[in-house]
Amino acid sequence: MRDPVPLDPHDVPLLRMSVSRDGPGAYDDLLPALGAHAAANADDIGYRERRDELVTAFLPLVRNLARRYASDGNADDIEQVGIIGLIKAIDRYDPELSPRGPLSYLVPSVQGEMKRHLRDRTWSVKVPRGTKELAVAVDRASTALTNELGRSPRVSELATRLEVTVDDVVDALNALDSYQTRSLDVSDPVTGTSLGDRVGSEDDTLGVAEIRGDLRRAIAALPDRERTVLLLRFYGNQTQSEIGQRIGVSQMHVSRLVTTSLALLREHLDGPADLPDAAAG
């Protein structure tokens, strides 16, 4: 673990909050603040405040990228996704891996988050509107609770946050599996441009998106009980005993269901699935 590094406003030049920045070196003045953040620990004094300043300073970059990918009135969603990508990138920033300046690292990270959103967030089957809305709410609540708790939330915690039943959350999680990758060749009837034109060239982050898409389809192909068990085990972070109580079977039977489900996933993906160890719990 890195030694704590106090973040004092006098140690790093104040961030220049510009409405618009252009050019490859437009954000180079933020390098000292990024470097200080990279060297700090999350429990340092002023850590969150300095990160918030960095996020605010880079917002023009996110907005510019969001305009490039937005369509059909989803600009706000794309921008929010980009901000999430920006926060992740700032927290993972390593000056030694970004010798060409902050944009060489931040831009691909933000773009990758937006591209994953565009590729993954399309409904493949008809889902009741109420379930679809709850699924979106569950997805957002999961992100918020993960940030608050420092771990993935349990299904019961999602239910409490959204003031719904555990059954409702499970149904919503199952509905999320109805998302699939949207074809990049489908053209916009107004502009004539395809989603592929908007997304642009491939980068390393797209391999992750493709894997996620394959995994979603593999999970959707599972029988209902096996799919529910996997969602509760890996997404809901419930133990095998808790799942057994939830669906009315023994812990040993849950273990067999998990093993069978993972084997089916591996068969569907034609390779070993890189999933957490299900034996514990």
Q: For the beta carbon of residue 193, count every other beta carbon within 10 angstroms.
A: 11
pLDDT value of residue 210: 54
pLDDT value of residue 29: 80
Burial of 72 (0-12, 13-18, 19+ CB in 10 A): exposed
What would the CATH number be for the domain defined by 25-120?
Answer: 1.10.1740.10
Alpha-carbon distance 204 to 216, whole Å?
20
Alpha-carbon distance 29 to 18, whole Å?
11
The interaxial angle of helices 31-39 and 75-92, nearest 10 deg, is 60
Alpha-carbon distance 60 to 19, whole Å?
6
Token duo for residue 169: 């959350």
Q: Where are the domains of the chain?
A: 25-120
Is the pLDDT at 79 greater than 60, yes or no? yes
- 42/7: higher pLDDT: 42
Token look-up 């700090």 returns: 40
Q: Half-sphere exposure (CA, 13 Å, Cβ side) for 12? A: 25
Least confident of 1-10, 184-193, 252-261: 1-10
Alpha-carbon distance 246 to 258, whole Å?
15
Alpha-carbon distance 128 to 275, whole Å?
30
Alpha-carbon distance 199 to 209, whole Å?
13
Is 47 in contact with 5 (CB distance < 8 Å)?
A: no
Instruction: For the full predicted model, state whether its pTM sits above 0.85.
Output: no
pLDDT value of residue 161: 92
Mean pLDDT of the chain: 70
Is 54 in contact with 91 (CB distance < 8 Å)?
A: no
Alpha-carbon distance 183 to 69, whole Å?
15
- 150/56: higher pLDDT: 56
The mean pLDDT value for 75-88 works out to 85
pLDDT value of residue 163: 92
pLDDT value of residue 9: 33
Most confident of the ranges 24-28, 164-168, 272-276: 164-168
